[in-house]
Structure 1
């Protein structure tokens, strides 16, 4: 039994469709367009996956950083053995500001990933429109 070609997963389907000669249909062109669609989806998925990995790494870094700060603050309070001071309130406020800035950074990273994925798909849609126009012009000739 023949192995499917990894570079052209539509090979068998193309061969089958070419057996049925349909006037006005360029089967290889149609199959090539579908192959490009699949490539665009794979690229969009890879971009989204890489973005999600980056987001997860940033979240882990934020968690480690926040836990480290809280551990240091707890150690300071324990060592002092006194009631929280204004310095403690200032440290907490700084920690909150940093956490908010980190959250904004994560939101921007997620937006960037979505924009890149959308751009890949939008480009492929535009290519599909151009390919369709080209096929229709060939049929008119």
Structure 2
């Protein structure tokens, strides 16, 4: 038995369907459309994966940064004797930075989702056009 071609997983399926000649059923066009569907899903999944990896990297960077700041603040606090005004100021700065970090994470997640959605939406639009073409009477 022959090994299936990894570059063209639809090859064997196309050969099988072409054995059954059905009028008005364009097997190569249908198989090409399904191949494009799979490619669109792969592209969308890659975009989503890259977005998640970017998000995870940003979270790790933020954690490292926050831990470094906490270590620095602890050193300053113990050296200065812990003045209340300085402490309140440091807490306010830390909260502002945390808010900015959360906004960055939300923007990164939104961008990743938007890219994945755009790939799928484009493929759906192509499917509609392909279906219109297939349903037009042949002259």
TM-score bracket, shorter-length normalisation = over 0.9
Distance 1:64 1:84 in 2: 26
Alignment of 1:58-137 (within 5 A): 58-80=58-80, 82-137=81-136
Q: Deviations over 1:75-128 (max 9, x none)?
A: 112223x23431221111111101101100110110111011000000000000
SS in 2 for 1:3: coil
TM-superposed deviation, 1:5: 1.1
| Superposed displacement of residue 16, structure 1 | 0.4
Runs in 1 of length 4+ with deviation above 3 angstroms? none
Q: How many residues align?
A: 139
In structure 1, the residue matched to 2:23 is 23
Instruction: Give 5+ residue unaligned stretches, structure 1.
Output: none
Partners of 1:123 and 1:135 in 2: CA distance: 18
Partner SS for 2:66: helix
Q: Any gaps of 5 or more consecutive residues in structure 2?
A: none
Give me the whole-angstrom Cα distance separating, in 2, the residues matched to 1:119 and 1:133.
Answer: 21
Question: Could you tell me how far 1:140 is from its partner in structure 2?
Answer: 4.6
1:51 paired residue number: 51
Moved more, 4-13 or 26-35: 4-13
Distance across 2 between alignment mates of 1:112 and 1:96: 24
SS at match of 2:25: coil
What residue in structure 2 maps to residue 5 of structure 1? 5
Between the aligned partners of 2:95 and 2:70, the Cα distance in structure 1 is 11
